[in-house]
Structure 1
Amino acid sequence: MIARQPLRPAAAAQAPEPGVHGIHDDALANNSYLVEVGQHEAVVIDPPRDPGPQIRLAEQIGVRIAATLETHVHADYVSGAREHAACGADVFVPKDAAVAWLHQNVADGDRVRFGDVAFRALATPGHTPEHLAYVLEHAGEPRAVFTGGSLIVGGAGRTDLLGDARTDELARAQFRSLRLLRQLPDAVRVYPTHGAGSFCLASTTSVENPTIGSERITNPLLAIHDEDTFGDELRRGFGTFPRYYCHLQAVNRAGTRLLRDLSPPPALDPRRVVRRTEEGAVLVDARPIHEWAVGHPAGAISNALRPAFPSWLGWVVPFGTSVILIADGAERAEAVRLARAIGYDDLAVLDGDVDAWRSEGLPTSTTEELTPHEAAERQRAGAVLLDVRQDVEFDVLRIPGALHLELGAIIAGETPDAPAVIAFCGHGERSATAAGLLEQRGVRVANLIGGTAAWVDAGLPVES
């Protein structure tokens, strides 16, 4: 194992135990970490594009962000490494990542040192070919490991993001990477980047304060000792993932514009919005689903502002397409922030509300909303209940007689052959998206208010 020369001068006395602060991103179900390394400095692991939360935390605890470490080239969000570099931080990237912007390469066995603290790189390919994990060492002893998309609490990162041709090869690499990580001491804390709810996962469980020792006991993938069996079990956890994933790794390699260099999205009057949509822009209504249902510009796709907003934006709108948002006030600013988190920078907003659209005499649409009991009555009369949840949700609980088509399949063009459809999901947001898309294809569709949660609360039958 080759250690690099210290990249910063060692402290005169042993630094205190490094503090690790996790920062969870609800929108994309990921974690970044700010690690105190002594001398009033900190290192950030896998920062998202918006550096604000990390910078505010650093100011709160009185440290300067001296460096960032990337575990891999991300497919689900724009890296914030360049944002921190613009503020003076050093940036360390796996040497095989082939990024085109200024950085320092890190290879297997290298140590990035900060006094008594070091981050030792471990080659852990699988989730991506260039993947590294970083073992946090203090005074030469391993304390924690930042596992990125390799070892996840209760599971592992998926290996199919580069396509079917490399899935098996990378699954075998993931098997070997997890075998390597499980050799670390029991007490080493585990800090993955991807968390429960991320589409980058094959599977996961919940363990409080996970360690290598707890993962050996609770992670079923670590109990598998055969590559073929491991690969089969890993692939069983693969679900569908947003379409933008196929583009974002190339974006992260090339580098995006800094947020400070992006202009605020222009506010367009309704007539200008119509012209832009005729040229190919997509009108996305980020208002609550009831407001969308009561009245929305004809052709506007519902994607209510919520933590899942960016994932579904990146699923329903082809990457690189202009997006025009319908949102007001603070919701508008948050929708813009979330869109830019996944590289959707070509943004505009509707100037005024839907009333401004109506005042111009432009066409609007409404979508019928049904309570669970109304939906059940319609089903008995012949309407088709359409479940647009993910396969894994459908496998756990379903409404008897419902047709199942994932929202991603509907986005891809699949359409139920039925005269009347009632769309539903877990709570109503994804089914509103589906309803809008199906309406554009001429399907008569209603949205089930509250989804399966409301159906269960109403005491209506389910299967599990």
Structure 2
Amino acid sequence: MGVEVGRLVPLVDEGLGNSAYLLDVGSGRALAVDPPRDLRALRAEARRRRLTVTWVAETHLHADFLSGAVQLAATDGATILASTTGRRTFPHHGLTDGDEIDLGGLTLQAWSTPGHTDEHLSYLLRDGPTAVGVFTGGSLIVGSVARTDLLGEDRTVELAHAQYASLHRLAALPDPTEIWPTHGSGSFCSAPPGSARTTTVGAEKTTNPLLRAPDVDTFTTRLLTSLGSYPAYFRWLAEMNRHGPQVVTGTPELARLSADEVRRLLAHGAVLVDVRPVTDVAAGHVPQALAIPLRAQFATWLGWLVPPEQPVVIVRNPDQAEEDILWPALTVGIEHIAGELDGGMSAWIADGGPVTRTALIRAPEISGPVLDVRQAGEYAAGHLPGAVHLELGDLAAAAPDAVPAGPTVVMCGHGERAMTAVTLLERAGRADLAVLVGGPQDWVAVTGQRLREGT
């Protein structure tokens, strides 16, 4: 039967950098692989194709998103397929290396491929004896492999050695075999930049620098030196996935909160997250608000900067949909959302609430110190001469003298992370900061100067 064009649908989350998969196996049944808790895209595709998700396969205990497997089991009656060594506490069909599932003409075979995590499974899809493709999770991804440092520094090298063996086991498949990874470009699980989300064994043999490493020690060095920082929520999501996230009933909604209710919540430790665009936040925001503009990367920064136990109050514009805020939040384990400021900033101002404004500047206006809050790899690839570097994820815990004193321009790639950084610093007492609209290339275009490379 094979996997005809269109029967396997990758469902890409550009913000988290991951792909889930929906496979039509015939007779109105489908297999879902590594679905996130935000099932909107998968459900829409299943409805369009008139499919019921019969099986849901998990390659590993995800650290970068909460799984939708338990939700699909509860609402669709799907059977969860996962490694027996994952110690999951919810009902599932445990698999070990070599176990097979008959999908009704196609066969799904579990392959033990530890490295990214201890219990990692890949799933080889066969049509009779022919290997059609393999769902590789984080074992073999486009141009790389996923990181091996999420279980602690003391396990990193050991897991890198396991990852090397898993990588070469997968590479022994026939060259035409399709590779369907979960992690891709934009994932903090360590995928290189690029637009491709799937690949083949043959292509990876030719282009993947880690697969071309001559020995395990070279592989380990190459992998570990490529690793950057990762979001704070990676430290607890895997354990939440082990027990299964709470099933969501109905459509999540934001409770409406008056200005006085918001003040009381903030006084008792809640954080106000302003999801409006940069220009709106700059024009006026609630003092002590944390600006995280709503975009593809919203969930990443919300989970990185807001502790899971802290209540959250939202400020949004009327054209920003509730579900586009709540589902990403739930997918990274931010569940204590108290509600939203009813009426938004207009209601706050009408109630006499104070307002903080932030200056926005363009590249020609830059003068004085510059704070660059991009990731280390972005900064090393090219930054303004003299710019101080401090990743956004490290900003809240940084020593006060790590941030330039006096009037400072804060920059990132476009302006969203810079606005988040400025509001973090405003919460710490700074009031002399401006956000650069744009990024390093805008400065190059204006000045004609070259960016500096390296750290």
Q: TM-score range, shorter-chain basis?
A: over 0.9
In structure 1, the partner of 2:54 is 66
Mean CA deviation greater in 178-187 or 219-228: 219-228
| Alignment RMSD | 1.8
Conserved 8 A contact 2:303-2:333: no
Render the CA deviation track for 1:135-173: whole Å, top value 9, x for unaligned: 100122110010001111000000111221211111111
Mapped to 1, the partners of 2:82 and 2:319 lie a distance apart of 35
Deviation string for 1:277-332 (max 9, x for gaps)?
Answer: 12111111000011101100000011100001000011111122211111133514
Counterpart position of 1:169: 158
Report if aligned partners of 1:385, 1:401 keep a CA contact under 8 Å in 2: yes
1:91 counterpart residue number: 80
| Separation of aligned partners in 2, 1:106 and 1:143 | 20
Q: Distance in 1 between matches of 2:189 and 2:268?
A: 33
Which one-letter code corresponds to 2:328 in the other structure? L
| TM-score, L = length of structure 2 | 0.94
Asked whether 1:285 is paired with 2:274, we answer yes
Partner of 1:135: 124
> What residue in structure 1 maps to residue 341 of structure 2?
350
The number of aligned residues is 445
Q: Please name the residue that 2:100 is paired with.
A: 111
Contact kept? 1:110, 1:121, Cα under 8 Å: yes
- My pick for the range that moved more, 218-227 or 444-453, is 444-453
Q: Which moved more, 1:187-196 or 1:81-90?
A: 81-90
Cα offset, 1:214, TM superposition? 0.6
Match of 1:33 in 2: 21
Query: Match for 2:371 among 383, 386, 402?
Result: 386
The answer to whether structure 1 residue 368 and structure 2 residue 389 are counterparts is no
* SS state at 2:199 partner: coil
Deviation at 1:235, TM superposition (A): 0.8
Distance 1:64 1:332, change over 3 A: closer
What corresponds to 2:409 in structure 1? 422
Could you tell me which amino acid in structure 2 is paired with residue 220 of structure 1? Answer: P
- Where structure 2 has 5 or more consecutive residues not aligned to the other structure, the ranges are none
Query: Partner of 1:321 in structure 2?
Result: 310
Contact 2:24 2:31 in 1 (8 A): yes
Q: Cα 1:261–1:97, aligned 2, differ >3 Å: closer, same or farther?
A: farther
1:200-349 paired onto structure 2 within 5 Å: 200-201=189-190, 203=192, 205=194, 207=196, 210-260=199-249, 264-333=253-322, 334-347=324-337, 348-349=339-340
Deviation digits for residues 46-100 of structure 1 (CA, Å, limit 9, x no counterpart): 0111222222212222332111000001111110001111211111111111111
1:207-259 deviation per Cα after TM superposition (whole angstroms, max 9, x unaligned): 58510011000001011132221111101111111101101111111222222
* Aligned CA distance change for structure 1 residues 16 and 182 (closer, same or farther; 3 Å): closer
For normalisation by structure 1, the TM-score amounts to 0.92
Shift of 1:116: 1.8
AA aligned to 2:423 is G
Can you list the C-alpha shifts for 1:428-448, whole angstroms capped at 9, x where unaligned? 000111111112223321111
Counterpart Cα distance in 1 of 2:3 and 2:185:
32
For 1:26 and 1:450, how far apart are their aligned partners in 2? 20
1:187 matched residue in structure 2:
176
Deviation at 1:36, TM superposition (A): 1.8
- Aligned equivalents of 1:274, 1:160: Cα separation in 2: 41
Moved over 4 A (4+): 14-18, 204-209
Q: Is the 8 A contact 2:185 2:191 kept in 1?
A: no
2:421 is aligned with 1:434 = yes
Identity of aligned residues (%): 39
* CA contact 2:184–2:191 (8 Å) conserved in 1: no
Helix, strand or coil at the partner of 1:364: coil
Q: Would you say the 8 A contact 1:152–1:204 is kept in 2?
A: no
Matching residue within 38, 41, 59 for 1:50: 38
Q: Letter of the aligned partner of 2:10 in structure 1?
A: G
Decide which moves more: 223-232 or 389-398. 223-232
Indicate how the Cα distance of structure 1 residues 286 and 70 shifts in structure 2: closer, same or farther if over 3 A, else same.
Answer: same
Alpha-carbon distance in structure 2 between the residues aligned to 1:181 and 1:263:
40
Q: 1:79 aligns with which of 59, 67, 70?
A: 67
- Relative to structure 1, the CA distance from residue 277 to residue 151 in structure 2 (aligned partners, 3 Å threshold; closer, same or farther) is same
1:426–1:451 Cα contact (<8 Å) kept:
yes
String of CA shifts for 1:332-362, please: whole Å, max 9, x gaps.
Answer: 4111121112121111211112121122222
Contact residue 252 and residue 326 of structure 2 kept, 8 A: no
Moved more, 431-440 or 295-304: 431-440
What code does the residue aligned with 1:436 have? Answer: T
